[in-house]
């Protein structure tokens, strides 16, 4: 393990130089010495901020707290801090107080889709389970800023038990996503208790954990933690790297520990103006991720949360980035670009268009190079008109293995066995007129 001069300097400023090595690797030390005010930030980094800026920033901090681990702070390039992707993700700016009319405290309606506190049940077969509302580092672009440092939303043991009971009572839930806050802020034993309880629910097939610890505090990924986690397989972990600079030697070591324990790793990146809205940066990021056995999972369009305007890019930037990835690099290095629908519609994937035209037996496509090509479809395809009588169907679905679900939405419109021919939005004035007439 090597340490940068800057890391040594930070620890010295915080006041534990004597036992630098011992403390620097202790994740609890980083949490206890998290930088939470501007004066400490200036002292520790040696950065001198302008008075006017500091005055405005202090108002931001009253609303959205500041919290940076000494480790993450040590990644800042102090000579060019204002353009630094780490600084921009960690340090508050006055723009966070600007709330535009279309912005919302809870744009994804997570609280509305919450049957019991702590659970968001949006999709048919999986739930989000908020088990912590604190993080090692407060990301300035957090979509759940409304909850950060909000004492009322710290989930207690009783609330967790209610969440577990909800999951146990809903056999359709086969996938539980532990989120927060950061679930790895919980002590190992507490997390072990939650995972054990989930594992005791027979219909929960997989558990996922979303954490930014490998990025902001990789020393949290201790041998003891990993030994505990691997007892709860199948367990998947998604992390949140936004810039290639974040993949330090310490971060890579944390990822290797998790991967060596057989935990499949994914990454969710948020597209952020001034941080990573560049094809070359995202390409470098996804390549570094796969090199470290992390599969790029989602590239998020920045949510409409309050105070994030300065971070948002046009959707075209995301499409342009996807255009530069698809075909140009390994398929598994390409994340899915999504917009999480405001109002709670869930994630909507977006891609460049590849389908140019089609006839009854031919499709015209273009590839990543701009080559236009055709795909000849079969001239005789015998469709199976499905009436959901699987017992009589020649496709041999073993009914005891069938995960039965009723088709909904567009899948329902496409089906042969349901008479629904259209979906009509609420408040459709034509339907209202019909109602009036009869």
> Which residues are the active-site residues?
122-123, 126, 135, 139, 142, 144, 303, 340, 347
Q: Whole-angstrom distance between the N-terminal and C-terminal Cα of the chain? A: 78
DSSP conformational letter for 276? T
Whose CA is closest to 286, among 233, 333, 331?
A: 333
Closer to ligand PLP at the Cβ: 122 or 240?
A: 122
Taking CB under 6 A as the rule, does residue 347 contact ligand PLP?
A: yes
Measured from the CB atom, is 63 or 347 closer to ligand PLP? 347
Question: How many binding residues for ligand PLP (CB under 6 A)?
Answer: 7
Q: Which stretch binds ligand PLP (CB under 6 A): 47-55, 115-123, 183-191, 253-261?
A: 115-123
State which of residues 6, 20, 81, 123 lies at the interface with ligand PLP (CB under 6 A). Answer: 123
Q: Which of residues 12-51 bind ligand PLP (CB under 6 A)?
A: none
Q: Assess contact for 179 and 128: CB atoms under 8 A.
A: yes
| Cα dihedral 239→179→349→281 (10° resolution) | -30
* Closest C-alpha among 231, 133, 238 to residue 175: 238
Residue located via tokens 């236009």: 372
Would you state the structure tokens that stand for residue 372, as one six-digit string? Answer: 């236009």
Residue 327 C-beta: closest distance to ligand PLP, Å: 23
Does 206 bind ligand PLP (CB under 6 A)? Our answer is no
What would the DSSP string read from start to end of 60-112?
HHHHS---B-HHHHTTS-GGGGGG-HHHHHHS--GGGG---TT-BSSTT-TTT
**Cross-sheet strand order for the sheet of 336-341:** 119-123, 126-130, 175-179, 206-210, 235-239, 265-270, 294-300, 336-341, 346-350
Q: Does 235 bind ligand PLP (CB under 6 A)?
A: no
293 versus 347: smaller Cβ distance to ligand PLP: 347
- Candidates 40-48, 91-99, 116-124, 366-374 — which segment interacts with ligand PLP by CB under 6 A? 116-124
**Crossing angle of helices 188-199 and 157-169, rounded to 10°:** 20
Question: How many residues in the chain?
Answer: 438
Q: Which is nearer to ligand PLP, 176 or 216 (CB)?
A: 176
Choices 117-125, 163-171, 306-314, 430-438; region in contact with ligand PLP by CB under 6 A: 117-125
Which one, 127 or 148, has the nearer CB to ligand PLP? 127
In sequence order, the 6+-apart residues with CB closer than 8 A to the CB of 344 are 108, 109, 110, 112, 113, 122
Q: How far is the CB of 414 from ligand PLP (least distance, A)?
A: 21
Q: Is 158 helix (H, G, I), strand (E, B) or coil?
A: helix
Residue 120 touching ligand PLP (CB under 6 A):
yes
Q: How far is the CB of 24 from ligand PLP (least distance, A)?
A: 34
CB 438: neighbour CB atoms within 10 A?
Answer: 4
Shortest Cβ 182–ligand PLP spacing (Å): 16
Tokens representing residue 312 in the block = 């948002």
Binding mask 75-114 for ligand PLP (x = CB under 6 A): ----------------------------------------
Contacting ligand PLP (CB under 6 A), which of 30, 33, 122, 140? 122
Nearest distance in Å: CB 201, ligand PLP: 17
Q: Rule CB under 6 A: is residue 128 a binding residue for ligand PLP? A: yes
Q: Does 126 contact ligand PLP by CB under 6 A?
A: yes
> Using CB under 6 A, which of the segments 73-81, 119-127, 350-358, 364-372 binds ligand PLP?
119-127
CB of 393 to ligand PLP, least distance (A): 28
- Is 226 or 341 the residue whose CB approaches ligand PLP more closely? 341
Q: How far apart are CA 89 and CA 74, in angstroms?
A: 13
Cβ closest to ligand PLP, residue 3 vs residue 123? 123
Rule CB under 6 A: which of 144-183 touch ligand PLP? Answer: 177
Query: Toward ligand PLP, which CB reaches closer, 106 or 277?
Result: 106
Residues numbered 248-307 forming contacts with ligand PLP, rule: CB under 6 A? none
Residue 368 as a binder of ligand PLP (CB under 6 A): the answer is no
Query: With contact defined as beta carbons under 8 Å apart, do 95 and 274 qualify?
Result: no
Closer of 177 and 261 to ligand PLP (Cβ): 177
- Residue 142 binds to ligand PLP (criterion: CB under 6 A): no
Q: Residue 318: CA atoms inside 13 Å, Cβ hemisphere, count? A: 21
When computed from its CA atoms, the radius of gyration of the chain, rounded to whole angstroms, is 25
**Could you write out the three-class secondary structure of 105-139?**
CCCCCCCCCCCCCCEEEEECCEEEEECCCCCCCCC
* Binding interface with ligand PLP (CB under 6 A): 120, 122-123, 126, 128, 177, 347
């Amino acid at each position: 393990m090597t340490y940068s001069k800057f890391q040594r300097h930070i620890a010295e400023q915080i006041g534990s130089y004597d036992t630098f090595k011992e403390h620097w690797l202790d994740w609890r030390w980083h949490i206890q010495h998290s930088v939470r005010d501007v004066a400490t930030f200036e002292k520790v980094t040696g950065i001198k901020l302008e008075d006017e800026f500091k005055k405005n920033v202090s108002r931001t901090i009253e609303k959205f707290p500041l919290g940076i681990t000494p480790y993450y702070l040590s990644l800042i390039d102090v000579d060019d801090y204002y353009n630094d992707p780490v600084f921009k993700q960690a340090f508050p700016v006055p723009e966070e107080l600007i709330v535009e009319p279309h912005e919302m405290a809870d744009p994804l309606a997570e609280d509305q889709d919450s049957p019991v506190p702590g659970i968001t049940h949006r999709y048919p077969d999986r739930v989000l389970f908020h088990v912590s509302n604190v993080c090692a580092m407060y990301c300035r672009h957090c979509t759940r800023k409304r909850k950060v440092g909000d004492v009322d939303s710290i989930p207690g043991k009783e609330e967790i038990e209610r969440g577990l009971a909800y999951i146990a009572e809903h056999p359709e839930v086969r996938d539980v996503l532990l989120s927060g806050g950061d679930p790895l802020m919980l002590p190992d034993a507490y997390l072990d208790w939650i995972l054990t309880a989930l594992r005791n629910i027979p219909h929960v097939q997989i558990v996922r954990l979303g954490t930014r610890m490998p990025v902001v505090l990789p020393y949290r990924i201790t041998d003891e933690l990993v030994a505990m986690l691997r007892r709860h397989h199948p367990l998947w972990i998604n992390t949140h790297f936004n810039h290639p600079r974040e993949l330090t030697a310490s971060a890579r070591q944390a990822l290797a520990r998790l991967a060596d324990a057989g935990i499949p790793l994914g990454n969710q990146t948020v597209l952020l103006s001034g941080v990573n809205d560049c094809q070359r940066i995202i390409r470098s990021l996804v390549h570094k991720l796969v090199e470290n056995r992390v599969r790029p999972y989602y590239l998020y369009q920045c949510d409409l949360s309050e105070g994030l305007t300065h971070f948002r890019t046009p959707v075209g930037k995301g499409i342009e980035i996807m255009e530069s990835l698809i075909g140009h690099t390994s398929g598994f290095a390409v994340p899915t670009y999504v917009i999480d629908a405001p109002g709670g519609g869930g994630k909507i994937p977006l891609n460049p268009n590849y389908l140019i035209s089609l006839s009854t037996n031919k499709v015209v496509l273009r590839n990543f190079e701009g080559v236009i090509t055709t795909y000849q479809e079969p001239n005789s395809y015998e469709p199976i008109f499905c009436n959901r009588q699987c017992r009589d169907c020649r496709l041999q679905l073993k009914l005891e293995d069938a995960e039965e679900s009723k088709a909904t939405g567009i899948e329902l419109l496409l089906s042969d066995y349901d008479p629904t021919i259209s979906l009509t939005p609420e408040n459709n004035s034509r339907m209202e007129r019909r109602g009036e007439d009869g």
